[in-house]
Amino acid sequence: MNQIMFKKLAAGIGFGILFAVNPIAIGENHSSNYPSNFLDKSSKKLIDSSKNSIGGIKLGMKEKDIIKKLGKPKSRTITYGKFCDFDLYTTTWKFNGLEIEGLSTSSNPSKSEVHQITTTSSSYPTEKGVKVSDRITTALKAYSTFLSTHEYTSTLSTSELLSKIDSENGLVYPNDAYGGLFFSINKQKGIKEIRLVKGAC
């Protein structure tokens, strides 16, 4: 994996790893379903990334789906390198304020499947209508039924959760594969970036 790809994935995956190593959050015996007493008791659930989208783009989509939805990208690049101990091709499609990354074992970009979507533009809302420039409270309300990484030991009210969110950690709704939906915010708690990640190793 090239340096640029690694840096961009690292932020998202880092939140997933942070969630993964917390024993309260995942229990002593980790599995893909995150078994834990807390999750069993909580009314909230881990987010299902396959049901989320940014700008109408979903994880697992292929190039033809992207072009059908958004038109021709400004650029498309293909790199080759290690990802999770596998030699894979990474295809990156760039639009104004939107970057989509796909992975494949083939150098043919039409075979690549979307693994990560990142936007810094208000033109690409999530499937629930949350967009860059919204207040983070908009995301809190829209995704209130899902567990965030700030809620390891108890379910928090919106005001309690808001007090824990800062520009360093943002708001993260993890899935069951160390990926999930990530909201980066500025010091005024406005959303500056939204990222959807399928998962880490």
**CA–CA distance, 42 with 155 (Å, rounded to integer):** 7
Calculate the average pLDDT of the chain.
Answer: 82
Give the lowest-confidence range in 16-25, 73-82, 103-112, 149-158.
16-25
pLDDT tier at 12, thresholds 50, 70, 90: very low
Q: Which residues of 155-177 are buried (b: 16+ CB within 10 A; e: fewer)?
A: ebeeeebbeebeeeebbbbbbbb
Answer for the pair 144, 158: CB distance below 8 angstroms, yes or no. Answer: yes
Q: What's the CA angle centered on 17, arms 15 and 18, to 5 degrees? A: 60
If you count them, how many residues does the chain have?
201
CA of residue 79 relative to chain centroid, distance: 21
For residues 39 and 179, the model is more confident at 179
Tens of pLDDT, residues 53-65: 999 999 999 999 9
Domain definitions of the chain by residue range:
3-197
Write out the DSSP string of 151-183.
-SSS---HHHHHHH--TTT-EEEE-TTS-EEEE
Tens of pLDDT, residues 174-199: 998 889 999 999 999 999 999 999 98
**CA–CA distance, 155 with 38 (Å, rounded to integer):** 9
For residues 50 and 17, the model is more confident at 50
Q: Tokens 């033109």 identify what position?
A: 123
**CA–CA distance, 27 with 22 (Å, rounded to integer):** 8
Q: Is the pLDDT of residue 114 over 90?
A: yes
Say which DSSP state 126 is in: B
Token digits for 199? Answer: 């998962």
Answer for the pair 24, 153: CB distance below 8 angstroms, yes or no. Answer: yes
Tens of pLDDT, residues 131-156: 999 999 999 999 999 999 887 666 77
